[in-house]
Amino acid sequence: MRPWELFRIIHTRRGYRHIGKDLSWKDFIDHENGKIYICFQGSNGLRDWLHNLLAIPSGAAEPYRGCGWRVHKGFARVWRSGNDTVIQEARGLWEKFRRSKPLPCGGWGAYDLAFCGYSHGAALAQLAAEDYAFRFGGASECECFGSPKLAWGDAAKRHLQRSMFLTNWINRADAVTALPPRALGYRHVAEHLLSVRRIPFLSMLRIRHHHETAYGLPEAYP
């Protein structure tokens, strides 16, 4: 699926379920390409924004692991409020379509599983992909749009890079993707830039255009 098509599916509000601390997610089955998408919604309401602003390094996405890597506390808090439900349903869908995809050499294989999200939901998608890898082994695909920074420090960045095959689409004019500041220790796990020219600084104040509209434009992608 082309990235702008996936973004439009994620961005539409239809079909989302809301659990825990406003963890908003839905699934989408791409039968044509044999892929299961677990989608996470962008910020939707005051509580989401309060979590976005909770930019304190958390001990880990799952503190009981004692693994030492740290992420944005607000995103980790939302994810932990409903992670078991999401992961169990993602695994259930994978099991359901385990022998549904025709293989080039003959026989049948499992649909591929991909986590995806926009903005606030992009950070949650990365935590979901890491959680799935921790429980079941193997890295899943993860495709994100307009994500704020999730990892705190290089240790978390390296850990998350090993946990997923991440495509993280970033518009250089999108101010949200610059937060939290690098000076506070936050890092993007990966960066894949849209094909947009550099623009005057004041244009970055057009938040809705750069953080929303741009990701749905086919011409914005390389």
163-222 pLDDT, tens digit each: 999 999 999 889 899 999 999 999 999 999 998 765 655 555 566 778 889 999 999 999
109-168 pLDDT, tens digit each: 889 999 999 999 999 999 999 999 999 999 999 999 999 999 999 999 999 999 999 999
Task: List the strands of the sheet with 17-19, edge to edge.
Answer: 17-19, 23-30, 35-40, 112-118, 140-145, 164-170, 192-193
Mean pLDDT of the chain: 88
Residue 83 sits in a domain whose CATH number is 3.40.50.1820
Residue range(s) defining the domain that contains residue 176: 3-220
DSSP structure class, residue 173: T
Number of domains in the chain: 1
φ and ψ at residue 206, rounded to 5 degrees: -80, 70
10-60 pLDDT, tens digit each: 999 899 999 999 899 999 999 999 999 999 998 775 555 556 555 666 654
